[in-house]
Structure 1
Amino acid sequence: MKSIARLISLLLLAGSVSACASEQPNSLKTPWGKWYFAFTTPKALPAQVTLLKLLDVDGYASTYRTIDQPQGINVGKWSERNSAGNTQFNKADRLLQIMIFCWDSIIDKKVYQSTLFFTQDTWNKMTTPYPDVLEPAKNAYRQTMLIGLAPEGKVRVWLRQYGHSDIPLNDTRITTVSGKDLDMCKGETNFPNGYEYSESIKKFVSGKKYPYGTW
């Protein structure tokens, strides 16, 4: 697992170098300018994303250190329509192959490193139009990806389809590691002095059994 993460990190680094060298057209044409990603967590079970890298379908890499953080209100399980944080900084130009990111699970009091491998199914869903809810004669696109971060280091991923339920990306291969298996995320944390539960977290988890739901 660690060797896979290291290989991905090297690919991302190589991609970022080549991406700076020249601008290439998208190998998979998209009918939109950008796509967006947003993070969500269960209510009162917070997490923070500290570092994220993308490798796109053309082999170009992007690194994000300024990241819009998770927000969520679900209790007990994910919803058919999940609330999420903003996407002001969480955006990209090309379709993605791999996403790898570091996150602090405050409720678990540990750092996780998650890697998502995307498939043709994701690209098809993002580039295929559906009728706009407000103007059915117009096309809308699934340009926003939602990423759920839950206790036990569990990660889920969906595409948002406005006016409808979120679409699970079940073909996405997701791997998550922590502790000695961290590679890119070793030392990446917003809590170098340790984690403390806020009063709202303490109140929410009181009397509940970890992991506080089915995620």
Structure 2
Amino acid sequence: MKIITGLLSLSLLAGCSSHAQTQTQKGNFKAPWDEWYFTFSTPKALPAQVTLVKLLDTDGYGYVFQTIDQPQGKSVGAWSKYIGKGFSPFNKAKAPPQMIKFCWDSIIDKKVYETTLFFLPDTQNKMISTEPDWYNAKETYYFRYMVIGLAPEGKVRVWLQNNGRPNLLQSSTKITTVSGKDLDMCKGETNFPDGYEYSEGMKSFIKDKKYPYGSW
């Protein structure tokens, strides 16, 4: 992971909208924690791999992640209300995100996707809020655990884990996903340059099921 400051941080997200770049809200979100974490999830037996992540936070810092905590998930038919792993050894930042842009191989779709997430203040404010921990009221719970779901058809959703309750869908997040000739940052970014193969587990799971194998 690399951290770059100042104007260079904006260039990390080249290809994002100029509107998003002018909305840098530097220093407006004082966090009560040292780091927040994001993890990825996929439906059961419909795997994906994330190859590159670029993040711009509300302090104006840019991050590049090439070592990434890869997606895991067990949801069948629809997203579970409790997906996400909490802490991640790799996917973390110091201030709430303004934007995240990432490349991912959808093995089930046999293609590369490029996704951009643009976060509004309601997400950023929620991430710096606190409440008594559901498991122990003497402890404090911080909404600093983000989950990004990757599903067939290139569908992406974003949640915050919610203190023992169902995850909070971040419905205000602007999500843009492209593939094929529309790839920019992610052109040539793949872990499968020789093509995709379904595992026996995948073949068994999707047998007699209709694509996209659920409602995502």
TM-score, scaled to structure 1: 0.87
| 1:95 matches 2:96 | yes
The one-letter amino acid paired with 2:92 is K
**Which of the pair is proportionally richer in strand?**
2
Q: Name the CA distance, whole Å, in 2 between partners of 1:76 and 1:85.
A: 23
Does the 8 Å CA contact 1:33/1:93 hold for their aligned counterparts? yes
Does the 8 Å CA contact 2:48/2:104 hold for their aligned counterparts? yes
Matches within 5 A, 1:166-185: 166-185=167-186
| Aligned residue in 2 for 1:115 | 116
Change (3 A) 1:112 1:177: same
Q: Name the CA distance, whole Å, in 2 between partners of 1:13 and 1:167.
A: 26
In structure 2, the residue corresponding to 1:121 is in which secondary structure? helix
In structure 1, the residue corresponding to 2:188 is in which secondary structure? coil
Does the 8 Å CA contact 2:46/2:151 hold for their aligned counterparts? yes
| Aligned residue in 2 for 1:153 | 154
Work out the percentage of aligned pairs sharing the same amino acid.
Answer: 61
Does the 8 Å CA contact 2:29/2:96 hold for their aligned counterparts? yes
| Aligned residue in 1 for 2:131 | 130
Structure 1's unaligned 5+ residue stretches are 1-8, 15-24
Matches within 5 A, 1:14-25: none
| 1:11 matches 2:11 | yes
Does the 8 Å CA contact 2:38/2:86 hold for their aligned counterparts? no
Q: How many residues align?
A: 197
| Aligned residue in 2 for 1:19 | none
**Which of the pair is proportionally richer in helix?**
1
Does the 8 Å CA contact 2:46/2:107 hold for their aligned counterparts? yes
Change (3 A) 1:163 1:85: closer
Structure 2's unaligned 5+ residue stretches are 1-8, 15-25
TM-score, scaled to structure 2: 0.87
Change (3 A) 1:197 1:72: same
Q: Name the CA distance, whole Å, in 2 between partners of 1:86 and 1:128.
A: 18
Cα distance, 1:85 vs. partner?
8.5
Give the alignment's Cα RMSD to 1 decimal. 1.8
Cα distance, 1:199 vs. partner?
0.3
